[in-house]
Amino acid sequence: MLSSEKTVNNLQYQLFIVSISLLAVANTVALVFFRGTLTGDVLALVDALLTPFFLVDFGLRMIAAQSKWRYFFIEFGWADFIGSLWLPGWDVLRLFRVYRVVNIIRQLPKTSGQTWGTLRRERANSIFSSMIMLAILVIEIGGIAVLHFEGTNANANILTAGDALWWGIVTIATVGYGDKYPITPGGRFIGSAEIITGVAVFGTISAYLA
């Protein structure tokens, strides 16, 4: 319990959860306009892939709560749980993540001085969570962009949201299996940007963990 309580009260952890919650809310809103398109498919798949983060966060908060009943029913833990779920066709439920954002922001240090002081003291953790968030953003934006260039090309092999995100993950991780690759100039430009981002992300993390 102490470990769970320490985690959910950690500033870097809270900021990371706020960041991915804001991304999920933005994706949910964007889906209203892009449903049925390749862009919408990427947004929906990223939203689904974020679900484990939210479920783990809910579980940690439930474990850390001194009164499980009070947390779930009085402190709106049920809203956290509903907002954690990914149910196709029930996008409106994911707007409960707005409550998660507001609730966590209320728990943050009250002054910017306290916040920046904590971030400076724990720079390694701050850099790690920032790089993970950057990687998620680049994979999503890169997936949308590469499908814009590749999705309508008859000779391309990156044709679906799954293709695009798989390619993005292995590219930014600098693995590059080679089963999916861009063939258009625009797609290759996006690929180059993801490779550079991947090197920067893992290089930065390695430097701070060394």
User: DSSP string spanning 67-81?
Assistant: -HHIIIIIS-HHHHH
Residue 72 and residue 84: Cα distance in Å, rounded? 14
106 and 143 both lie in a single domain:
no
- pLDDT tens per residue, range 13-42: 888 888 998 999 899 889 889 989 999 999
Full domain range(s) for residue 188:
122-210
| Full-model pTM | 0.84
Q: Spell out the residues 6+ positions from residue 187 whose beta carbon is closer than 8 angstroms to its own.
A: 146, 149, 150, 156, 158
1 and 73 both lie in a single domain:
yes
Relative orientation angle of helices 77-84 and 38-64, to the nearest 10 degrees: 150
162 and 99 both lie in a single domain:
no
101 and 6 both lie in a single domain:
yes
Q: How confident is the model at residue 187 (pLDDT cuts 50, 70, 90)?
A: very high
Number of domains observed in the structure of the chain: 2
16 with 50: CB under 8 angstroms? no
Indicate the length of the chain as a whole number: 210
55 and 94 both lie in a single domain:
yes
Q: Which of 120, 145, 172 is the last residue of a domain?
A: 120
In CATH, what number is assigned to the domain containing residue 111?
1.20.120
74 and 177 both lie in a single domain:
no
49 and 138 both lie in a single domain:
no
Using CA atoms, how far residue 122 sits from 4, 10, 19, 153, in Å, is 18, 10, 18, 47
What is the mean predicted confidence (pLDDT) over 58-67?
90
Does 1 or 154 have the greater pLDDT score?
154
- pLDDT tens per residue, range 47-60: 999 999 999 999 99
58 and 102 both lie in a single domain:
yes
168 with 143: CB under 8 angstroms? yes
